[in-house]
A = this chain, B = another copy of it.
Amino acid sequence: MTDINEPVRTARTATGAAPKETAGIADEAQTADPALLDLAELLFFAYRDFTREPDKILDEFGFGRAHHRVLHFVNRRPGMRVADLLKILKITKQSLGRVLKQLIDEGFIVQEEGKLDRRERLLYPTDRGHELAARLAEPQLERVARALRASRRRGDAKIETFLYQMISEADRPHVERLLRTKLNMDHKQGEPQ
């Protein structure tokens, strides 16, 4: 142990001042169920690992995560308009414009003039785009499927279990240790470590 901090209770603000329990303010967070914060952390870890494999593949193409998102949605919903993408991604037109242009220039997406409204530019994946989208999706689907299987295997239908299983296997022991070593634990149970 002592991986992070030793006796959990010794946590103080290092300003010398005693912990004082209520630093006032949003005590919501302090009195809240620690399990909620655990879930928030698990979501962070799950998402952190969820994006790793695709990111690595994208690197080969000189693309980033933004390209992945655009390609994914266009691939899954061909004929989507630029405005639709903006609403989904919640980024600015300029931000989208940059990555979309690259995807078009490099032949992963094509535009087509709308038939009903010729102002619209409908987006479609090319074969190449479809292929890359599938390749990027593969590790993510595998990960989600694995996590669902593991959740069901454990019988508990807990969100916590699913998110934990979304973490890359190699990192799970680390996260597990982390979740056992934190502040606010002693509220519920005097779990020593």
Are A126 and B15 in contact, with the CB atoms below 8 A?
Answer: yes
A66 contacts the other chain (Cβ, under 8 Å)? Answer: no
Query: Known contacts being A23-B134, A36-B141, is A127 close to B90, with CB within 8 Å?
Result: no
Are A4 and B148 in contact, with the CB atoms below 8 A?
Answer: no
Bound: A115/B193 CA distance, A: 15
Query: What B residues does A10 contact at CB under 8 A?
Result: 79
Are A134 and B29 in contact, with the CB atoms below 8 A?
Answer: yes
Bound: A25/B15 CA distance, A: 44
Interface residues of A in 1-43 (CB under 8 A from B): 3-6, 10-15, 17, 19, 22-30, 32-33, 36-37, 39-41, 43
Query: What B residues does A80 contact at CB under 8 A?
Result: 4-5
Query: Known contacts being A50-B43, A77-B178, A183-B76, is A13 close to B145, with CB within 8 Å?
Result: no
Are A40 and B138 in contact, with the CB atoms below 8 A?
Answer: no
Partner of A19, one of B4, B69, B145: B145
Query: What B residues does A151 contact at CB under 8 A?
Result: 159
Interface residues of A in 97-145 (CB under 8 A from B): 110, 112, 122, 124-127, 129-131, 133-135, 137-138, 140-142, 144-145
Residues of chain A whose beta carbon lies under 8 Å from any beta carbon of chain B: 3-6, 10-15, 17, 19, 22-30, 32-33, 36-37, 39-41, 43-44, 46-48, 50, 69, 72, 75-81, 84, 87-88, 90, 110, 112, 122, 124-127, 129-131, 133-135, 137-138, 140-142, 144-145, 148-149, 151-152, 157-159, 162, 174, 178, 181-184
Task: Using A5-B79, A19-B145, A77-B183 as known contacts, list a sample of 20 further A-B pairs with CB atoms less than 8 Å apart, ordered by residue number in A.
Answer: A4-B77, A4-B84, A13-B124, A13-B130, A14-B126, A14-B148, A15-B148, A15-B149, A19-B149, A23-B130, A25-B134, A26-B135, A28-B134, A29-B138, A37-B76, A39-B148, A40-B50, A40-B144, A41-B76, A43-B50
